[in-house]
């Protein structure tokens, strides 16, 4: 067993933040006065396969399958944002046992600590330093992401990815799908996460790392004007994040 296997980390899921647009709808009336109420659109994350606070070793795959559920009475467009920790570490070879224990580079490199794995559960791209992630069909990766989050020393400490729910098998299709009341996105964003092949002689052993998931939703009607809506992911996100 290579020394990389002794590198244990606790992976814990940060609290889920649900953020939504405002939706106003008719709640009651009488012969003279119409009464309208406003509420915050309610959506939430569900992860059927997730087991809280697992311990994970390099190259191990953990089941993690985030879906979005519309628990409101209002149809919604929804987005999922995932923030993954980044650290300057030494990586080892991933391939055969004979190469285990061999560092990929002489000096530490800044890399995402976790990789998303889709339903095919294939290993990530050959480039262990890549920032790309695997996602399932039905999700559209928003342009301009991932974004870097830096600390007070201007060091990159995490990467934030943003995805729109389109329900399409075409990964370049940016037309958003409507998530109706009581519906769940047809697929999770991904099915598993895998810890990078970090060397034991770093700062990771014994640490706790967090993958943060946030979901955002906005009503589907009257986004562009009193009579028109939007459906492209970029246009909808602009309204939601304004």
Domain edges within the chain:
3-241
Strand duo 76-89 + 67-70: pairing:
unpaired
Sign of the dihedral through C-alpha 125, 191, 79, 88: negative
Arithmetic mean of pLDDT over the chain: 78
Length of the chain: 242
Whole-number pLDDT of residue 32: 47
CB-based burial label for 140 (10 Å; 0-12, 13-18, 19+): buried
Whole-number pLDDT of residue 97: 55
Position 30 pLDDT exceeds 50: no
Place of tokens 């600590």: 113
Whole-number pLDDT of residue 11: 43
Confidence label for 119 from pLDDT (cuts 50, 70 and 90):
confident
The Cα–Cα gap between 104 and 128 comes to: 9
Strand duo 208-219 + 17-20: pairing:
parallel
């Amino acid at each position: 067993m290579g020394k990389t296997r002794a590198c244990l980390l606790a992976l814990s899921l940060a609290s889920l933040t649900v953020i939504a647009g405002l939706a106003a709808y008719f709640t009651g009336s009488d012969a003279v006065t119409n009464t309208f109420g406003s509420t915050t659109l309610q959506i939430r994350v569900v992860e059927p396969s997730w087991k809280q606070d697992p311990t994970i070793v390099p190259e191990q795959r953990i089941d993690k399958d985030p879906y979005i559920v519309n628990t409101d009475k209002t149809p919604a467009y929804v987005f999922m944002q995932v923030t993954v920790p980044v650290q300057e570490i030494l990586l080892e070879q991933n391939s055969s046992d004979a190469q285990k224990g061999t560092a990929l580079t002489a000096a530490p490199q800044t890399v995402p600590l976790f990789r998303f794995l889709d339903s095919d559960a294939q290993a990530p791209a050959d480039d262990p330093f890549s920032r790309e992630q695997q996602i399932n069909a039905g999700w559209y990766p928003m342009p301009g992401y991932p974004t870097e989050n830096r600390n007070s020393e201007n060091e990159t400490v995490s990467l934030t990815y943003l995805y729109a729910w389109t329900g399409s098998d075409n990964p370049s299709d940016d037309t958003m799908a409507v998530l109706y009341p009581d519906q769940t996105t047809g697929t999770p964003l991904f099915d598993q996460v895998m810890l990078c092949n970090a060397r034991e002689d770093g700062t990771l052993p014994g640490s706790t790392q967090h993958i943060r998931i946030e979901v955002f939703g906005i009503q589907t009607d009257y986004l562009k004007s009193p009579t028109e809506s939007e459906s492209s992911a970029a246009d909808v996100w602009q309204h939601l994040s304004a």
